[in-house]
Chains A and B, each alone.
Chain A
Amino acid sequence: MGVESGFSSPRNDVFPAGLRVLVVDDDPTWLKILEKMLKKCSYEVMSVDGETSRVMKGVQHGACDYLLKPIRMKELRNIWQHVFRKKIHEVRDIESLEGIESIHMTRSGSDMFDDGHLLGGEDITSVRKRKDADNKHDDKDLSDPSSTKKARVVWTVDLHQKFVKAVNQIGFDKVGPKKILDLMNVPWLTRENVASHLQKYRLYLSRLQKESDIKNSFTGMNHSDPSSKDSTASFGHHNSMNVMQDDLSNGAYSFSVNNSLAQNVDLKGHEGDRKGITSVPVAEPKGALSIDIPDPNKAKSSHISFDHSLGSVDSGLNFASFNSTNLVQYSWSKIPEIQFKQECEPLQLENGFSQLPLPGSHHHMQTEYLQPSASISSGPSITEKEASSSRIEVKPMYDEYGRNHVKHLSPMEAVDLFPVQSKNHTLHNQVFEPISTSTSSMKSPDVSLNWLTDLEFAQRNLNGGAGIPFTSLSEDIQVCWLQGDCYAMNFGLQDFDCTEYNDPALIAEIPFHLYDAPRFDHDHLFDPAEYSALDKGLFA
């Protein structure tokens, strides 16, 4: 069920009676109940029978709130506040029109109800949607708790596509945020949002350039592990990223990216803001995929932010599939970044990785994900066992998330994005667990999921315990962590551990670089709704 509210006048200071609410649900019983409830709150109700595409639209449009069913009156009464507050923020920023905020209500189903919990059990698809929700809500109200914070814009694939189109239309050198904003024609987007996104995009492009230069020089690097070669090879050809889908049981996913470090700028996933990768059509992007790490503020103290620019993302990355389910959100804070870097540096080039001659300041790390059938632990492990964690495997998280989280929240599996790499053999197929955090406490209700892992953990899991060296973060890969406000999992990177890798075979090179702290904030409106919409489970 989706709820959209529109303000007729942005500067309305009183209770916006007549707030329009769109209710979407496939269950007629619920529709009727909600209609009634909302009417009681003097909202204007438009009711629609739910269909995935419709709800998606609602979500993409900018759902600003989630409410889990069963819905309580008091929750409904409060939604206008959140919407209103967000509205205020936006209005302040923009010169333009009123935005539309949506409140996304999803059908949580009995699971939620049973658990009495925001995030239901199996019903929620992990992705993002589900992921562990923030336990702060007692009711099943998933409304944005951070409505008081400044809203963050989530650069979905679609949005980014529009952006890129606009940029190309204008002409890359003449481009300016205002022009782009106008061309994009997205009402709720502010000039600042565009400006910051543009900046990131430019950086990403320049990084791509650099990378391609550097990569060229890497040819011929040898891998210590012959097997990796195979995998690399396979990576080269393989285009699909198997993302964990609903079927979490199979946690393995492999990224295969073509090696063309195509500077295909036209990546959806791009530079940084890939927050909600709602639909990343893998086919499109060629080139680096960068994932931004969202909102560092949310991260716990020791978070690391990664910028991963994926060397070459080719059709190989099936983000689409990726998106469909579990996305994990990470919140990284900048502070530890630096520490991380330092810690990690020594680790690089260990154990016979002669090949990592990181160029200058710039380490190229590319992670390739092998098809780790064995190594990656199964999804379910993650969410379920909190404790066991700190070792969170990327994969599993994915799974788990998909499963256990609120439907709406589909965390983006930023981690998954890492690997895209490249083209060379230099970058071998090392499995890289870019996650540095150690805490991977994945408790479903726990917001702070630091699943990004412990490198150790990752390493172990990834390849039968091989250690993955975590090279310095100054890589080209931009990791975009989706930050989930609410229930979704907020992962904080904690304790970044750089562990040495014991198994040379497993060396993963991850190019990523840390994002500047300032870039991450404020411009992003995180809409858990967006992700959740993607969650298939949602519309089951």
Chain B
Amino acid sequence: MDIANQLQRQFMDYSTSLHREGFVDDQFTQLQKLQDENSPDFVVEVASLFFEDCEKLINNMARALEQQQGVDFKQVDASVHQLKGSSSSIGAMRVKNVCIAFRSFCEAQNREGCLRCLQQVTHEYSLLKNKLQTLFRLEKQILAAGGSIPIVE
């Protein structure tokens, strides 16, 4: 039990830091609350869906922006919009914020700006992925140690 407690504390700290640093927001907490015995891996599943979606969208954007003959900003914008929606569904605040800036560059048809944002989005996405994977690992460890996952408000 000691280990479990330790892990739980670690988990809570980590969780808090994620919130504090803006990686996730309240929506993520909601998701965590939705998790129950019926769907013990709910958050992990949602996160995986999100990551897949994210990668796909980022690829779309990259491809659209690479077009030498003329960037279809509408397409880029559509992808960014979708990403924005997805990220808000999971509470990925930082990703979402980059998307907001990204969209205005799209509207302004600013290729340079868009490319920069794309880079940022990719970066934020990787960061988030790592953080969440760490979090999920902690969760697994807690469960393995016989503890329960604390809800961090």
Q: Which residues of A contact B (CB under 8 A)?
A: 26-30, 32-33, 36-37, 39-40, 69-70, 72-73, 107-111, 113-114, 123, 540
Contacts and interface: CB of A to CB of B under 8 A. Distances in A.
B10 interface: no
B30 A32 contact: no
B85 A69 contact: yes
A27 B86 contact: yes
Interface of B: 27, 30-31, 33-34, 36, 38-39, 42, 45-46, 49-50, 53, 78, 81-82, 84-90, 96, 99-100
A405 B18 CA distance: 33
Contacts of A113: 88, 96
Contacts of B33: 73
Given A109-B85, A114-B100, A123-B81, A29 B49 contact: yes
A36 B89 contact: no
Contacts of B34: 33, 36-37, 40, 73
Contact of A69 (B31, B39, B81, B89): B89
Contacts of B36: 40
Contacts of B81: 109-110, 123, 540
A32 B88 contact: no
A110 B99 contact: yes
Contacts of A37: 34
Given A109-B81, A114-B100, A540-B81, A28 B88 contact: no
Contacts of B100: 110, 114
A interface secondary structure, majority: helix
B interface secondary structure, majority: helix
Given A110-B84, A110-B85, A36 B39 contact: yes
Nearest to A123: B81
B39 A33 contact: no
B27 A70 contact: yes
Given A29-B49, A30-B85, A69-B89, 15 more contacts: A26-B82, A27-B85, A27-B86, A28-B53, A29-B46, A30-B86, A33-B46, A33-B90, A70-B89, A73-B30, A73-B33, A73-B34, A110-B84, A110-B96, A110-B99
A40 B33 CA distance: 11
B84 A27 contact: no
Nearest to A26: B82
Contacts of A69: 85, 88-89
Contacts of A33: 31, 34, 46, 89-90
Given A69-B89, A70-B27, A29 B39 contact: no
A52 to B, nearest CB: 14
Contacts of B42: 36
A27 B53 contact: yes
Nearest to B49: A29
A69 B90 CA distance: 11
B90 A29 contact: yes
A108 B90 CA distance: 14
A33 B88 CA distance: 12
A270 B36 CA distance: 52
A73 B81 CA distance: 24
A389 to B, nearest CB: 25
A252 B96 CA distance: 35
25 contacts: A27-B53, A27-B82, A27-B86, A27-B89, A28-B49, A29-B46, A29-B49, A29-B86, A29-B89, A29-B90, A30-B86, A33-B34, A33-B90, A36-B34, A36-B42, A37-B34, A70-B27, A73-B34, A107-B85, A109-B81, A109-B84, A109-B85, A110-B84, A110-B96, A110-B99
Contacts of A28: 49, 53
A111 B31 CA distance: 20
Contacts of A73: 30, 33-34
A72 B27 CA distance: 9
Contacts of B39: 36
Nearest to B87: A110
Contacts of A114: 100
Given A29-B49, A36-B39, A37-B34, A70 B86 contact: no
Nearest to B91: A70
Contact of A29 (B30, B53, B78): B53
* From B36, B39, B45, B89, residue with most partner A Cβ within 10 Å: B89
Contacts of A110: 81, 84-85, 87-88, 96, 99-100
A181 to B, nearest CB: 41
A28 to B, nearest CB: 5
Given A107-B85, A110-B81, A110-B87, A29 B99 contact: no
B50 A29 contact: yes
Contacts of A29: 46, 49-50, 53, 86, 89-90
A32 B99 CA distance: 22
B46 A32 contact: yes
A36 B43 CA distance: 11
A323 B15 CA distance: 47
* From B78, B81, B88, B96, residue with most partner A Cβ within 10 Å: B88
A36 B88 CA distance: 16
A26 B53 CA distance: 11
A466 B89 CA distance: 50
B60 to A, nearest CB: 14
Contacts of B49: 28-29, 32
A70 B86 CA distance: 10
Contacts of A108: 85
A107 B85 CA distance: 8
Contacts of B45: 32
A36 B42 CA distance: 8
A40 B31 CA distance: 12
A40 B35 CA distance: 10
Nearest to B51: A29
A4 to B, nearest CB: 21
B58 to A, nearest CB: 15
B86 to A, nearest CB: 5
B110 to A, nearest CB: 17
* From A30, A69, A72, residue with most partner B Cβ within 10 Å: A30
